[in-house]
Structure 1
C-alpha cells in the first residue's frame, strides 16, 4: 500500500495554525492525497524533532515561530533569500535525504500586493516598519521589484541601521519616518497581535497607495485603521500573504502551482464567521 506524501508545520505554539487547511485545499486542486500535520516541538528540541520526522518519511515542512532561525541552522543548504533573511520558513527534503531551506514569506507578500491589490512596486517609495525576522524575510524579494527607494524604520533605530547596512537601504527612526510620505507602507512589527499600531503620524499616509499589515485577524488591524485615518487609498492585512507564502512552499515541494483566490476567500469567510 502506497503511503500518502507527508508534510507538516512546526511551531510552538502551533494549535492556531491554518496551514493544514490551506495545504489540503491545494492538494485538492492538484487532485492528490497528502498528509499535513501540525507538530508542536519543545523550544529546545527543534533539530531532534525535525530529524525524527524526516526519518519517519516527512518530505517537506513549514516552520513558524519561534523556530525560523533554528531551521536556518538545521538545513544543509540555504537559498539566497534564506541567507539574507537569516530565517527559514520552508524545508524541502531531497531524494538523497539532504534538507534545503528557503523563505517564501517575501514572495507570498509580493504576490499578494501585486495580484490581489493591483500595485506594482517598481519605481515606488516603500517604508517597511520593523527590523525583526519577519521584515528580514521580505526585503530581498521586495528589492527585486526595483522600487524607487526602500526605507526601514524601527523603534530601536540601531536594529534598523544594522539591517539597512546589510541591504544598502535607508534606516529611519519612527519619528523621522512620520515626517516623510511613502507610496507603500508595510507593517512588519507584531503590534497588530496586541491590537496596537506602530507609532507613525497620520501624515505619513497622505500619499500612500497601499498600507499593508503583515498580521491578520477577523477585523481590520489597528495599523489599517491608522492608515485609513491618514488617507491611505488601500489598507490590507496579511491573510493573503499567509496563503501566498504557503502556495510558494507547496510548489517547491510538489512542482504544482496552486491558485490562491478560492482558498483566501474561504479563510476570510471562516475568520469573519468567528468574529
Structure 2
C-alpha cells in the first residue's frame, strides 16, 4: 500500500484525504492518506520521520510549512523555485526528497476547465504572499498579455516581482489597480476567510473584466465574488477547483496517473454544503 499524508497547522479542516482517496479509486491505486498536525517549529523533523517510513511515496504540505518544505527538499521545479515554496514532497528513487509546487498548475487548469482563455489576457493578481508567488510562473507560461501584482504594501509586491517575475511582472498600488483594465482579477489573499474584501471593486476597475477568481472557497460565493457579480462581472469562481487540480497534479507526480477532477469537485461541493 502506498502511503501519503498532508502536513499543516491547523490541519483538521483539510479535504486532501477525501480528494486523494477518490483519485485512488479512479486510478485503481490502494493508498492510505492521513492528516498530520506538525508543531510550528517541528515540521522538518515530522516530515522526515514520515518520509522515512516503509511504503511512503510522498506528502502534501500546507500552511505554514511550505517554505520549510522548500528548504528541506531538492527542488528542480520552476514554480517552486519562483515561489520559494513547496506543497508536494516525493521520495525519489535516487534517495533524495524532491519538492514541487502544484498550486499554479492547479489554478491554470481550473481556469482552463472553466473555459477561461488566458492567452493575451491582462491579469490582476491581488496579494504578494506565498499563494501569489506560487501561481506566477504557470500564469506567465500560459501566455498572458500582462501580469500585474497589486498589494497593500507596494515594496512587498516589488520584491516578489523582482524575485519571481523574470522581469515580466508589473506592480501597482491597490488604489491604482483600475488603471490595469484587467480581463481577469485573481484574489490570492485570505481576506475572504474573514468576509472582507482584498480591495474595493468599482465599475471602473471591472470595466473590461471577464472573470473574478477568489482562491478562497466557502459554502456560498465569497463577498468578493458577490461584489463582482453586483458590478456586472459575467463570471466568478472560487478556489475549490484549484484545490482539486493542484491535488491532481501532485497525485500524477507520485503515481504517474492523471485522475479526472470534475466529479471530485462536484462531490466536494456536496460535502461542503453539509458542513
2:185 match: secondary structure: strand
**Offset at 1:56?**
1.4
Instruction: Please give the residue correspondences for 1:15-164 in structure 2 after superposition, counting only pairs within 5 Å.
Output: 15-57=12-54, 58-115=56-113, 117-164=114-161
Q: 1:81 Cα shift?
A: 1.3
Q: CA deviation at 1:263?
A: 0.4
1:202–1:229: 8 Å Cα contact kept in structure 2? no
Q: 3-state DSSP class of the match of 1:122?
A: coil
Contact between 1:60 and 1:91, CA under 8 Å: does it hold in 2? yes
Contact 2:122 2:184 in 1 (8 A): yes
- Give the structure 2 partner of residue 242 of structure 1: 243
Unaligned residue ranges in structure 2 (runs of 5+): none
The runs of 5 or more residues in structure 1 that have no matched partner are none
User: RMSD of the TM alignment (CA)?
Assistant: 1.0
Q: 1:230 corresponds to which residue?
A: 231
Distance (Å, rounded) in 1 between the aligned partners of 2:80 and 2:106: 14
Q: CA deviation at 1:181?
A: 2.0
Q: TM-score by structure 2 length?
A: 0.96
Secondary structure of 2:106's aligned partner: helix
The corresponding residue for 1:6 is 3
Secondary structure of 2:80's match? helix
Tell me if structure 1 keeps the 8 A contact 2:62–2:87: yes
| Separation of aligned partners in 2, 1:145 and 1:51 | 34
Secondary structure, counterpart of 1:269 in structure 2: helix
TM-superposition CA deviations, 1:148-191 (whole Å, max 9, x none): 11100001111111112231210000100034421000000110
Asked if the contact 2:148–2:180 (Cα under 8 Å) also holds between the matched residues in 1, the reply is: no
In the alignment, the residues of structure 2 paired with residue 152 and residue 170 of structure 1 have an alpha-carbon distance, to the nearest angstrom, of 6
Q: Which residue is 2:209 aligned to?
A: 208
Distance 1:28 1:257 in 2: 12
Shift of 1:59: 1.2
- Work out the CA distance in 1 between the residues paired with 2:52 and 2:87: 20
**CA–CA distance in 2 between the matches of 1:145 and 1:184?**
13
Corresponding residue SS for 1:87: coil
